[in-house]
Amino acid sequence: MALSSWKELPIGTIITEPGNAREFKTGDWRSQRPIWDSEKCIHCLFCFIYCPDSSIKVNEEGKMTGIDLDYCKGCGICAEECPKEAIHMEIEKR
């Protein structure tokens, strides 16, 4: 990606695109991958409230729909905190 010249950048180091960190995928940091078992999931959303990387996808009805591997760093908190063992961690293979 060609970086902007000083003449093109907004002044004052202001970032004008809110939430554009989404463009930066941290998923490749992962050495362990969470595997979600939708059968066991009771949609308690504990994984959602404890996920540091906003990687638990929740729909309008408040149901968990999966894990966003673009950002998940594989910390394993979700698997650790899941009361139903609906998430487990596996070694990441690429």
Partner 1 sequence: MPIRALTGNEAMAEAMRQINPDVVAAYPITPATEIVQLFASFVADGCVDTEFVTVESEHSAIAACIGASGAGARVMTSTSSQGLALMHELLYVAAGLRAPIVICEVNRTLSSPINIHCDHSDTMGSREAGWIQIFAEDAQEAYDLTLQAIKISEEVLLPIMISTDAFIISHCMQRVDMLEDSEVQKFIGPYKAAYSLFDKTITIGPLDLQDYYFEHKRQEIEAMWKTAPVIEKVAQEFASKFGRSYGLFEAYKTEDAEQVIVACGSTCGTTRVVIDNLREKGIKIGLLKLYAMRPFPHQKLKEVLSKAKLITVLDRSVSMSTMGGPVYIELRSALYDAPKHPLLVDYIYGLGGRDIDMDQITDIALKGEQIIKDNKVEKPVQYVGLRE
Partner 2 sequence: MPSLKELSKNADLFTGGHRACSGCAGPIVIKQVLSVAGPQTIASLSTGCMEVVSTIYPYTAWNIPYIHVAFETAASALSGVEAAYQVLRRKGKVKGKWNLIAFSGDGGTYDIGFQGLSGAVERGHDFLYVCYNNEAYMNTGIQRSSATPRGAHTTTSPAGTVIPGKKQFHKNLVEVIAAHGAPYVAQAIPSNWADFTRKVRKALDTEGPTVIDILAPCPLGWRYPSNKTIEVARLAVECKFWPLYEVENGKYKLNYRPRKEVPVEEWLRLQGRFAHLFTPENEHIIKEIQEGVDRRWESLLEKCG
| Contact set with partner 2 (CB under 8 A) | 13, 15, 17-26, 29-30, 44-46, 48-55, 58, 61-62, 68, 70-71, 73-77, 79-81, 89
Instruction: Report CA dihedral (91, 92, 93, 94) to the nearest 10 degrees.
Output: -170
Binds 11: which of partner 2, partner 1, none (CB < 5-8 Å by kind): partner 1
Residue 31 interacting with partner 1 (CB under 8 A): no
Distance CA 52, CA 88 (A): 17
Options 15, 39, 93, 94; binder of partner 1; rule CB under 8 A: 15
CA distances from 9 to 19, 20, 72, 82, 92 (A): 18, 16, 31, 45, 39
Task: Provide the minimum distance between the beta carbon of 28 and partner 1 in the complex, in angstroms, as a whole number.
Answer: 19
Render 31-46 in DSSP notation, one character per residue.
SEEEEE-TTT-----H
Residues that bind partner 1 (CB under 8 A): 3-6, 9, 11-16, 18
